[in-house]
Amino acid sequence: MEFGMILILFVASIPTILAEDISYGTIVVDGTTSIAQTDDNFVCATIDWWPHDKCDYKQCPWHYTSTITLDLSHPILTKAIQAFNRLRIRIGGSLQDQVLYNVGNLKSPCHPFRKMKHGLFGFSKGCLQMKRWDELNHFFNATSVMLTFGLNALYGRHKLKGSLWGGEWDSSNAEDFIKYSISKGYQIDSWEYGNELSGNGVGAHVHADRYGKDLIHPKKIIKELYKGSQFEPLLVAPGGFFNQQWFTKLLQVSGSNVLDAISHHIYNLGAGSDPKLVSKILDPNHLNKVANTFINLARTVQTHGPWSSAWVGESGGAYNSGGPHVSDTFVNSFWYLDQLGMASKYHTKVYCRQTLIGGNYGLLNATTYVPNPDYYRTDQIYGKTF
């Protein structure tokens, strides 16, 4: 998909923006050359692990939208996904590193997430039952979803000091889970490793040295288990905030051809509770600030990991579940379209919107499943209605 397509939509929306004081301008798009190329499945949306009792600012906007509780038989959900022909979905989020897969030789008890005062992000470990995993895969197959699944990179590690976690990753649970998925014939486009453990982390962090060394395990597992298969899933990591030193080290330590995509997260609007959220969305200077992150990441990849491509694995605009009555309304499209354009321009191959459903920033409403304005923006550009 070329960047030019995104520009066209901006032209189309100019008269609406200036509803009171209309002035017409002309934008010339030179379609003969392209400045960057995205993946064919550039557009992506996320499904998270947050349970219904995850709350921010005394508001609980997730309802039953998690990987475990989402209503897969809802007719709007199926249609909304199918309208893209082939939507990429990334399953992941804060609680991903605490998920156990109930399969194989799992030694620990497998219980659902529950609130826990001193737990990471205020929750206990959680559990993905294989019955649910079967249901999810049948659903994704029926809706032609291209799946990126985030693995539990904290499994087997322990807290060292503050939010720093160490020890070697125990790959056994993930390996059994991948084996099970292969035995069932489930098509996974990419396995992602870890969530927001880069730099100083969010809830927890792991040194880049350690993380880079451990990345060699999932790569080896994928290579071995998919040997002889028609398709070998990609390995994606670290799914965290960009930190130049940390990302550079990760590429250097893991070495060439280990990481197929280097994924980062973007929340460039600040907290969802910020009363100035709307004015930030409408301020081009504010929106442009994050261009540096894209530029620096592109440079890092070019210099230290040219075998890898840059992905935005999760981006919701405002963090802490998005802004109530902002992130699901028309005004949010100014942030979203700007991001899709900026990411494409700086060689990002995939852009995952937080979320497909869940929180205040879902493309679909968390209780009614009705699409919000950003859903239509995306579908107009990339869906079959374009």
Q: Which is nearer to ligand NAG, 13 or 141 (CB)?
A: 141
Q: Is 238 exposed, middle or buried (0-12, 13-18, 19+ CB in 10 A)?
A: buried
With CA atoms as reference, report the closest residue to 141 among 186, 89, 192: 186
Residue 144 touches ligand NAG, criterion: CB under 6 A: no
Q: Is 28 exposed, middle or buried (0-12, 13-18, 19+ CB in 10 A)?
A: exposed
| Amino acid, res. 305 | G
Give the span between the Cα atoms of 265 and 262, in whole angstroms: 10
* Total Cβ atoms within 10 A of residue 132: 16
User: Least Å distance between CB 264 and ligand NAG?
Assistant: 25
Q: Which is nearer to ligand NAG, 113 or 186 (CB)?
A: 186
Within 13 Å, how many C-alpha atoms sit on residue 214's CB side? 27
Contact indicator for 190, 232 with CB cutoff of 8 Å: no
Residue 245 touches ligand NAG, criterion: CB under 6 A: no
Within 13 Å, how many C-alpha atoms sit on residue 16's CB side? 9
How many residues of this chain interact with ligand NAG, rule: CB under 6 A?
A: 11
- Please give the residues from 281 up to 340 whose contact with ligand NAG meets the rule CB under 6 A: 328
| Amino acid, res. 286 | H
Q: Which is nearer to ligand NAG, 138 or 159 (CB)?
A: 138
Residue 314 annotated to the active site: yes
- Please give the residues from 205 up to 234 whose contact with ligand NAG meets the rule CB under 6 A: none
User: Least Å distance between CB 362 and ligand NAG?
Assistant: 7
Tokens read off for 292: 């540096």
Residue 85 touches ligand NAG, criterion: CB under 6 A: no
DSSP tag of 72: T
Residue 2 annotated to the active site: no
Q: Which is nearer to ligand NAG, 185 or 284 (CB)?
A: 185
Among residues 65, 360, 369, 371, which is the contact residue for ligand NAG, using CB under 6 A? 360
User: Least Å distance between CB 39 and ligand NAG?
Assistant: 22
Q: Which is nearer to ligand NAG, 49 or 186 (CB)?
A: 186
Q: Which stretch binds ligand NAG (CB under 6 A): 30-38, 45-53, 87-95, 358-366?
A: 358-366
Residue 366 touches ligand NAG, criterion: CB under 6 A: yes
Q: Which stretch binds ligand NAG (CB under 6 A): 50-58, 279-287, 301-309, 364-372?
A: 364-372
Q: What is the CA radius of gyration of the chain?
A: 20
Binding mask 123-142 for ligand NAG (x = CB under 6 A): ---------------x--x-
Contact indicator for 55, 114 with CB cutoff of 8 Å: no
* Total Cβ atoms within 10 A of residue 130: 15
Contacting positions for ligand NAG (CB under 6 A): 61, 138, 141, 185-186, 328, 360, 365-368
The residues annotated as belonging to the active site are: 196, 314
